[in-house]
Amino acid sequence: MKYLKTLTSFALLVSLLLSCTTKAQNSNNNTKKTGKMNTKNQEIVNVALMYIKDGEEARFEEYKKKGSSILEKYGGKIERIIKPKMLVKGELEMPDEIHFASYPSIEVFNKFNEDPEFIQIRNEYAIPALKDISIFTSKNTDFEFKKEVGDKSKTYGVALIYFNDGEKYEKQFEAYHDEVCTIMPEFGTHFERFIAPFQSKGSIKQPNEIHRFYFDSMEGLQQMGTDERMQALFPKRDASLKNLYFFIGEASL
The domain tally of the chain equals: 1
Domain of 219 in residue numbering reads as 7-31+40-251
For the chain, percent of residues with pLDDT exceeding 70: 77
The confidence score (pLDDT) of residue 232 equals 81
Determine, yes or no, domain membership for 54: yes
Helices in the chain by DSSP H: which ranges? 7-34, 57-73, 106-113, 116-121, 127-129, 167-183, 218-226, 228-233
Kindly report the CATH number assigned to the domain that includes residue 162: 3.30.70.100
| Radius of gyration of the CA atoms of the chain, in A | 18
In a domain, 188, yes or no: yes
Instruction: State if pTM tops 0.85.
Output: no
The share of the chain scoring above pLDDT 90, in percent, equals 53
Q: Which residues contact 121 (CB under 8 A, 6 or more apart)?
A: 63, 66, 67, 70
In a domain, 1, yes or no: no
Q: Poorest-confidence range of 53-62, 158-167, 226-235?
A: 226-235
Range 104-126 average pLDDT: 96
* pLDDT (0 to 100) of residue 3: 40
Q: What angle do CA 47, 14, 175 make, to 5 degrees?
A: 110
pLDDT of residue 225: 83
